[in-house]
Every structure is written in C-alpha cells, then in structure tokens.
Amino acid sequence: MANAYDDMKQYSKTVEFYQQALAIVKNSGDRSLEMGIFNNIGATYNESSQYPKALEFYQQTLAIAKELSDRSMESHTLGNIGFEYNQLGQYPKALESYQQALK
C-alpha cells in the first residue's frame, strides 16, 4: 500500500503505512526489515523535500546497519545522509558523509 501511495505522490499516506508496518516489525524483532522500513521512510521524506525528516530516518537506518554489521547498507545510507546534508546546504557534513561511504 505504501508503494502505491508513493507512486501517486501522496507522501503523508505513504509514511502512515510505513509507520504501521514499522510498529508490526518492531514486535517481530527483525532488525533488518526494520532498517529497510526506516530507509523507505527516509526516502519518502526526501522525495517530498522534507530533508531534515529524511535525515532523521536515515540516521536510524545507519544505526541499525552498524548494529547488524551490514557494510553495504551502511555505505548506501551514508550516501543518502550526504545527499540530505547537501540539500540543506551543509556541505562540510555532506562531504564527510560521502567520504565515510567510500571507506
């Protein structure tokens, strides 16, 4: 459902459904799936130009990626974080995130 609302650019509905999924997943203990939902929420906020909110959810994605030692997702998320900082005009932080993504 969230993807359908996202395709229709109804971002508040998209986030609403992802939040519902997140509540269910948190009870299951599946941290990898939780990480994916945080990432999707961050992407939704990015698409709607709500960069500070996107950054917030990407930070949560990054924390779980580190916890799970998922280097691929960690690198991907650091790139997303760099993009958000760039959109916010915080260029030194953007550059730092991009450099960390390459390590």
Q: What is the CATH number of the domain that holds 7?
A: 1.25.40.10
pTM exceeding the 0.85 threshold for the entire prediction = yes
* Total of domains in the chain: 1
Tell me what the pLDDT averaged over the chain comes to. Answer: 94
Range(s) of the domain holding residue 55? 2-102
Cβ neighbour number for residue 2 with a 10 Å cutoff: 20
Give the whole-angstrom CA distance, residue 35 versus residue 90: 25
Q: Tens digit of pLDDT for each residue in 42-69?
A: 999 999 999 999 999 999 999 999 999 9
Question: What angle do the packed helices 71-87 and 51-67 form, to 10 degrees?
Answer: 160
Non-local CB neighbours of 75 within 8 Å, separated by 6+ positions = 101, 102
